[in-house]
């Protein structure tokens, strides 16, 4: 049996034909990355417009916020290139926030009636913790912030954050369209990506890192330890998005992983089954803010979901990685 496996390993192709590599990259860029950032730019523009029209923390604005945040979750795993210029991704999504910098910074702005809200340029200079979707959640869903300071200032702040989110998202899209998509589609020895396998490695890492963040932060933070669960650390619990975020993260990485698996039907089927099994566990949870982490029985099901995501990541590392020419060593994948 062992000899058979060895034989099988020996006849596996070591790399894919260039045509195939190029097709996978084009599929991810054209059908995953660009549409994702277009949706983010569109929905965040709509959010800014809605805030302009009616800045009260009520349904229309909350709906626009939800739609825009969902769009961010479609691309939040793509942490390279345009999202990393000038800390743009952090400016959209400052989380986790173990020291409570976001409520602190927002409180400071409101108490001082800081006039940085007056213009986009000046707002871009406030603490990064007071910018982005996570800051806006406090203003739209937290009772303390819904009444802090004057309605006029709160309104100006909500509008400033929404405008800033839209501007950052538009900048990311512009960079992707104008040059970064081209860099990924046409690797060249004199360019940022020298060859297609480097591009594939970048894309593959985005998938595995995205899942790691979901396991360690989105689930690991509220789970804490058995003796000390931390339900208040659940991501976006004020807006009830904690579990929703996990589902969106799985959905986005699933789409990207399957495009990377490309025409390999056996691999595609295996990845589909593993992702769908994990997604089924998530949707069956019926615990939107992971309140169950403090209950031994309910906690067990959240831990199972976390293990399922870790398993999913291992399957990607062992099955998809080698197909794309990404090796996984003891130290290489897990250093310190």
* Min dist. Cβ of residue 228 to other proteins (A): 7
For residue 22, count other CB atoms closer than 10 A to its CB: 16
Judged by beta carbon, residue 157 or residue 199, the one nearer other proteins is: 199
Secondary structure of 7-60 in HEC code, one letter for each residue: HHHHHCCCCCCHHHHHHHHHHHHHHHHHHHHHHHHHHHHHHHHHHHHCCCCCHH
d(CA 231, CA 293): 6
Judged by beta carbon, residue 34 or residue 90, the one nearer other proteins is: 90
Stretch of 33-41, 107-115, 135-143, 190-198 contacting other proteins, by CB under 8 A: 190-198
**Total of chain residues touching other proteins, rule CB under 8 A:** 38
Binding to other proteins (CB under 8 A): which residues in 90-149? 90, 94, 96, 98-99, 101, 128-129
Stretch of 1-9, 65-73, 149-157, 212-220 contacting other proteins, by CB under 8 A: 212-220
CA 113 from centre of chain: 32
Contact 192, 119 (CB under 8 A): no
Instruction: Say whether residue 225 binds other proteins (CB under 8 A).
Output: yes
For residue 61, count other CB atoms closer than 10 A to its CB: 21
Give the position of tokens 């933070």.
221
Judged by beta carbon, residue 43 or residue 215, the one nearer other proteins is: 215
* Min dist. Cβ of residue 267 to other proteins (A): 23
Binding to other proteins (CB under 8 A): which residues in 164-183? 183
Instruction: Say whether residue 22 binds other proteins (CB under 8 A).
Output: no
Which residues, in sequence order, are CB contacts of 85 under 8 Å at separation 6+? 171, 175
Instruction: Say whether residue 272 binds other proteins (CB under 8 A).
Output: no
Q: Of these, 221, 237, 254, 299, which contacts other proteins (CB under 8 A)?
A: 221
Cβ burial, residue 43 (10 Å; 0-12/13-18/19+): buried
Q: What is the dihedral of CA 183, 44, 97, 236, to 10 degrees?
A: -130
First to last CA, the chain: 37
d(CA 237, CA 290): 8
Judged by beta carbon, residue 13 or residue 329, the one nearer other proteins is: 329
Stretch of 13-21, 28-36, 161-169, 227-235 contacting other proteins, by CB under 8 A: 227-235
Which residues, in sequence order, are CB contacts of 176 under 8 Å at separation 6+? 33, 34, 37, 81, 82
Stretch of 49-57, 60-68, 221-229, 235-243 contacting other proteins, by CB under 8 A: 221-229
* Min dist. Cβ of residue 182 to other proteins (A): 13
* Min dist. Cβ of residue 307 to other proteins (A): 13
* Min dist. Cβ of residue 332 to other proteins (A): 4
Judged by beta carbon, residue 151 or residue 179, the one nearer other proteins is: 179
Judged by beta carbon, residue 84 or residue 276, the one nearer other proteins is: 84
Q: What is the dihedral of CA 113, 117, 121, 125, to 10 degrees?
A: 50
* Min dist. Cβ of residue 297 to other proteins (A): 21
- Residues at the contact surface with other proteins, assessed by CB under 8 A: 79-81, 84-85, 87, 90, 94, 96, 98-99, 101, 128-129, 183, 192, 194, 198, 202, 205, 213, 216-217, 220-221, 223-225, 228, 230, 233, 327, 329-332, 335-336
């Amino acid at each position: 049996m062992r000899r058979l496996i060895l034989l099988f390993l020996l006849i596996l192709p070591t790399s894919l034909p260039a045509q195939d590599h190029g097709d996978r990259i084009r599929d991810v860029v054209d059908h995953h990355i660009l549409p994702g950032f277009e949706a983010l730019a569109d929905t965040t523009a709509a959010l800014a417009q809605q805030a302009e029209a009616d800045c009260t923390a009520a349904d229309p604005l909350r709906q626009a916020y939800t739609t825009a945040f969902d769009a961010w979750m479609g691309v939040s795993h793509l942490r390279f290139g345009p999202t990393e210029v000038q800390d743009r991704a952090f400016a959209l999504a400052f989380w986790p926030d173990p020291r409570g910098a976001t409520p602190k910074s927002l409180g400071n702005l409101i108490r001082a009636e800081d006039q940085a809200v007056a213009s986009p340029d000046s707002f871009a200079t406030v603490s990064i913790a007071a910018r982005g979707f996570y800051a806006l959640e406090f203003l739209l869903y937290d009772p303390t912030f819904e009444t802090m300071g004057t309605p006029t200032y709160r309104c100006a702040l909500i509008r400033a954050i929404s405008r800033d989110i839209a501007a950052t998202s538009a900048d990311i899209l512009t960079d992707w369209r104008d040059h970064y998509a081209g860099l990924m589609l046409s690797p060249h020895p004199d360019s940022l990506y020298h060859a297609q396998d480097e591009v594939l490695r970048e894309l593959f890492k985005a998938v595995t890192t995205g899942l790691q963040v979901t396991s360690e932060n989105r689930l690991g933070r509220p789970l804490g330890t058995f003796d000390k669960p931390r339900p208040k650390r659940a991501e976006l619990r004020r807006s009830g998005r904690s579990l929703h975020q996990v589902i969106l993260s799985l959905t986005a990485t699933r789409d990207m992983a399957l495009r990377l698996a490309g025409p390999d039907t056996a691999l595609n089927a295996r990845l589909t089954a593993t992702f769908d099994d994990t997604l089924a566990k998530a949707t069956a949870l019926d615990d939107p803010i992971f309140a169950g982490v403090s209950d031994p029985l309910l906690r067990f099901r959240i831990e199972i979901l976390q293990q399922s995501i870790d398993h999913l990541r291992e399957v990607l590392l062992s099955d998809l990685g080698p197909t794309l020419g990404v090796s996984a060593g003891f130290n290489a994948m897990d250093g310190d």
